[in-house]
A and B are shown apart, each in its own frame.
Chain A
Amino acid sequence: MRVLCCLDGTNTQQVSHAAQMFSTAEPLTIALLTVIDAGPRRDMDRTRERFWRPPLRHGPLTDEMQDAERAVSEEVLKAALGDLPQAETLLRQGLPELEIVNAAAEWRADVIFICPRAEYGEPPHIGPRSVGHVARFVLDHAPCPVLLLRPLAGEQFPIRR
């Protein structure tokens, strides 16, 4: 079974835990995927266009941005490799939702592991709109089954009507 694990910088433990639960499936091949989101750069380029400036392509600022993006992505992959040392690593750049489904097709994933959204210290979000735009797109467009790793949110239950 080929499992593609999508890392967003905040879900390493969740993804590792889920992958370990599948470790009895033989042969199990895991790939850890992290995507450098090109969205913010595109927005910055649009803002530059508004101020009659060409897109940021070369120069110290671009180098710094690339260094920071790459360093953080590599750190995320390294942290996940600590739990899943046999895994392959994939680092891509672009719109995360597109990169994930394309990577899944190219790598011939049997299943994609993805979390509903990146969580930055807030309590797990359940209910409407709890699935972010990236996970939603992957659910809609994936070339294989998708396992949505919802956070543990038992303390928010029972849901009252």
Chain B
Amino acid sequence: MFLFFPLSEFWRTLLASIIGLLTLAGIMTRPFRWSEARIAMIGAGTLLLLGLIRPADAVRTLLRDWNTFLFFLGMMGLSALAETAGLFDWLAAQAARFAKQSAARLFLNVFLLGTLITMIFSNDATALILTPVVYVLVTRLRLPVLPYLFACTFIADSASFLLPISNPINVIIISRFPLDLLTFLRLLFLPSLVVITLNIGIFYLLYRKQLRGSFEISHLPTAEKAVKHKAYFRYTLWVLALVAPSYVVASAFQFPLSVVAIAGGLLLLAGALFWKRVTLLEAGKGISWPIFGFIAGMFVVVRAIEDTGLTHKLGKLLLHLSRGTSFGAVMVGTFGSALGTNLINNVPMAVVMNSSLGSIQHAAPAIRNGFVAATMFGCDLGPNLTTVGSLATILWLLILRQRDVDVSGLDYFKVGVMVTPLMLLAGAITIWLCL
């Protein structure tokens, strides 16, 4: 199309593969501190300009994944508007109240609250909104901050395969490999419980000394103080009481989850505008717009790689490594995805795996389901290994450490390396048993 000189199929394949791999490498290393969105868009733009993917194919690819884009939009809108209502502060205050002045019980409550929020709002809300809320709470209560922050950051990933909506990665994968709710729950609910229990148990063991204390009730903020506007807060609770079961029903009937998320977000937006809690501009600021560029870029780049047959070969390799057994499928899917998420972030990894798993469509159901469930599991839980960033970030932190400055990000890495492989293994074995 825009390619001004003819190229043989071999060179087109080679060029598309190089651009695709360079894009993934760029996302991994982020040269010049460029954002992942910019790198993905540059990759996609280059492929389009060189005619290595037809614009019509690119548009078709993006339209095919409309559910993913709208789900991200609805999910971020719901979280941001619920935060405006003071819901997360209120829930955190209640968690502290139920802890009855015990630091250890508050720790457990933070885990349970994180699980609940991840289940309904997705891991995004727990990692980005609950974490600072809990930070304020435990700072006010004069408790050691780090164990509680670790709890929030880790549970965001550990609880993100309880339901299809608990992590947008699940929606990306389910859009390509539909799983009805019962199959999803059969494959991933029990592993979720195992992983969450393991996470809580290990963290209690690690932080038992710091959790021996108690806090004074006088430092506890009142739950009422968290509620900025009573009517809007009540309205938010009603909307969420409607949205949560709607998600379950939509999953059961394989109805697009994005429609529920967008409808819930619009209802909350209408309430927030009515009670003048936000303006449209402020509501827009609650959305991370670059993410759409990033996902769109990734979809186009992976589509171009897919046309070269590279992802098909990766799928065949995964199948070969699994030795055609369901156990192998679960292990290869889990650990392959987990490793990939730590190299190139979980969204690109999920998109690459989606494309690769296309070649196992005709495998036995146990193997196919094993790969699909394990890919979701690995992409969801894998980031806990290097939870404050990719491996590249961790390498950078290690370099900083050489300068003798204690880098707290490395604490996350140390805990992640200790805990995540165990959780991955336990979860993978449970998935295999549930197949």
Contact = CB atoms under 8 A, between A and B. Distances in A.
A40 B145 contact: yes
Interface residues of A, number: 36
Nearest to B387: A47
B383 A61 contact: no
A50 B383 contact: yes
A72 B140 contact: yes
B136 A42 contact: no
A137 B404 contact: yes
Nearest to A37: B145
Contacts of A133: 406
B132 A43 contact: no
Contacts of A120: 103, 143-144, 209-213
B214 A121 contact: yes
B37 interface: yes
Contacts of A103: none
A134 interface: yes
Nearest to B156: A47
A65 B143 contact: no
A8 to B, nearest CB: 10
Assign chain B's interface to a size class: 35 or more
Contacts, number: 102
Contacts of B209: 120, 122, 125
Interface of B: 35-37, 83, 103, 124, 127-129, 131-133, 135-136, 139-140, 142-146, 149, 153, 209-214, 288, 290-291, 294, 345, 383, 387-390, 393, 404-406, 408-409, 412
Interface of A: 9, 37, 39-40, 42-44, 46-53, 56, 61, 64-65, 68-69, 71-72, 95, 97-98, 118, 120-122, 125, 133-134, 137, 140-141
Given A48-B128, A120-B211, 14 more contacts: A40-B149, A43-B409, A44-B132, A46-B409, A47-B388, A50-B127, A52-B36, A52-B288, A56-B132, A65-B135, A95-B406, A97-B406, A98-B405, A121-B212
11 contacts: A40-B135, A43-B388, A43-B409, A47-B131, A50-B388, A51-B288, A53-B128, A61-B129, A68-B139, A121-B103, A137-B406
